[in-house]
Amino acid sequence: MITDNFDNRVAIIIYSIGLINIILGILLSIILLFNSPIFGITFGLSAFVSGILLIGFAYIIEYIERLIQQSEIQVRTQTMLRTDMEKMNKNLEAYLQYSTSNSKEESSLEVSREEDTTNKNNVLSTLEVDDTKEVPLIALGDIYRYFDQKYNQKPTEVKGTTYTDYYVVCIGANLKKIIKVEDKRIIELL
């Protein structure tokens, strides 16, 4: 059936009315041609144009419906990523607390490492996926090569974040990594 492309009931109804309008308008214009040719042609053209307009509105309604569905899917995906990021941040905070509590060395080198860990913790706690930031092509190539060599898998998705050179890399359905690309080096943060 022609209306199989439509998911929205209103679009199906308007599309059907448009088709009926065209078919009945042309049939009536043929009948009217015998009485008054000018009136028959005018009636047929107006029925055809109004039917096409109705069909066009039906397609517009269906297109808007699909856009709404896609945006809802994107919102759900972004919400899932945000909750995953929050879980990873909590895991990272617990790991950092554990690792700093078990460290026995208190040299100046260790202090600078703690400052670096705190800075990394601050970055990760405020890190969010930013869909407006595109991943540079060079970094994307490096990321794909790195994950292909290390995990024998190519990432399914690489997303930019609110921080420069930090990315969220999805491998498969369940594995997500936060990485930093620094001078052609890839550092896995989580």
Residue 101: per-residue pLDDT: 52
> Is residue 92, in this structure, part of any structural domain at all?
no
> Is residue 188, in this structure, part of any structural domain at all?
yes
Of the residues 22, 50, 70, the one at which a domain ends: 70
Helices 108-126 and 37-101 sit at what angle, rounded to 10 degrees? Answer: 160
> Is residue 12, in this structure, part of any structural domain at all?
yes
Out of 46-50, 67-71, 84-88, 101-105, least confident range: 101-105
Kindly report the pTM of this predicted structure: 0.42
> Is residue 88, in this structure, part of any structural domain at all?
no
User: Which domain does 54 fall in, by range?
Assistant: 2-70
Q: How many domains in the chain? A: 2
For residue range 135-184, list pLDDT tens digits in order: 777 777 778 788 778 877 777 777 778 777 788 887 776 777 788 787 76
For residue range 93-103, list pLDDT tens digits in order: 665 555 555 44
> Is residue 65, in this structure, part of any structural domain at all?
yes
Of the residues 70, 87, 113, the one at which a domain ends: 70
Residues 99 and 47: their CA atoms lie apart, in Å, by: 77
For residue range 42-64, list pLDDT tens digits in order: 989 999 999 999 999 999 988 99
> Is residue 83, in this structure, part of any structural domain at all?
no
136 φ/ψ angles, rounded to the nearest 5 degrees: -60, 145
CA distances, 119 to each of 105, 115, 116, 171 (Å): 20, 6, 5, 26
